[in-house]
Copies of this chain bind each other. A is one copy, B any other.
Amino acid sequence: MTKITIKDISIALQVSISTVSKALSDSHEISESTKSRIRDYAKANNFSINKVAQSLKLGRSNTIAVIACAINNDLVSQILEGIQEVAIESKYDIIIMQSMEDESIERSCIEVLKARGIDGLLISPVSESSNIDMLLNLKLSKVPVVLFDRINSQLNTYKYGVKNFDGAYQATVHLIKQGCTNILHITGSQLGVANERLSGFLAALQEYRIPFNPENYIPCNLKNTNTIDADIRKALKKAFKSKNKPDAIFGATDLITIRSLGILADMNINVPNDIAVIGFANTKAAFAMNPSLSTISQPGKQIGYLAMTQLVKMIKTKREIDYFETIELDTSMHIRKSSLKETRI
């Protein structure tokens, strides 16, 4: 048994190819009787339409693509959930790809997708300027592009992310209100959202008249867990050797914050009493940490939902769009045990 086409059906049923085509798309031009004959035969021989030919003919594929830097984190999976929800309602197929934080992989993803004729692209770019040319080219080819999460790209289009400044500010204020005055900010050296989070952190310090010690700014190499761990461990060792020991950590990402917690446990440093910990994180395991991890979390599913909804809208209104918005949603703070000084309970 091999693939069967509408031509095969037309021969078997002694009708024309166009009749079959119309019947299968439930055209009003075809009588109910022939429609059902054709449908029955199609089902019986489990015919499935050749979408490749269909795409070629129609000039659209009913497919959108998502390019994320990595899909092995909770924020991205939550975003994908939101995207899928819209996709199912709106009957779009989704292609998921990961750029692995690498501009050249990102480039080849975009190339492949362009060649494959997607109807729209959702992307969280590797960096501020990565593959701008390609994305621009897509836009010019009438393929709408919407950004999510990493919304610092120079590309002019719709962007969906969160208020990184505010989230960082709130987290820092929370720590300060716990009595912390010597807060480490562990972050990434080349992270798109790092600047805003740093700004929020600094703003909170300033607000409460807490001097900022440049040594407390700790950028890590986010390449992999080994480099992250090494950088964190080194910084913590140094910090705890100094005269005025740190009393809190504000982590800029999921991974940074979680690894910090593990390293502290390994160093036998008590959290939250010796040092409080809070950080940006969407992990579902925050609750399962010990102490349970306080987090600033992002409305991942909603980001995906909104971004995809906008993309679909742009696909359907083919008209050229020159007006764009950047939507920054609120983060939410989840205070658990890791940032609650026990004297305060």
Query: B-contacting residues of A (Cβ < 8 Å)?
Result: 1-3, 46, 48-53, 55-56, 61, 63, 70-72, 74, 77-78, 80, 84, 93-98, 100, 111-112, 114-117, 137, 140-142, 225, 258-259, 261-263, 265-266, 283-285, 287-292
Contacts and interface: CB of A to CB of B under 8 A. Distances in A.
A288 B51 CA distance: 47
Q: How many copies, total?
A: 2
Contact of A142 (B2, B112, B285): B2
A302 B292 CA distance: 33
A72 B61 contact: no
Contacts of A55: 52
A95 B93 CA distance: 11
A20 to B, nearest CB: 16
Given A84-B98, A287-B262, A141 B1 contact: yes
B93 A96 contact: no
A80 B99 CA distance: 12
Given A48-B114, A56-B56, A261-B290, 19 more contacts: A1-B140, A2-B140, A50-B56, A51-B116, A52-B56, A53-B56, A71-B72, A72-B74, A84-B100, A96-B96, A259-B287, A262-B287, A262-B292, A265-B289, A265-B290, A283-B285, A288-B289, A289-B290, A290-B290
A61 B46 CA distance: 21
Contacts of A94: 97
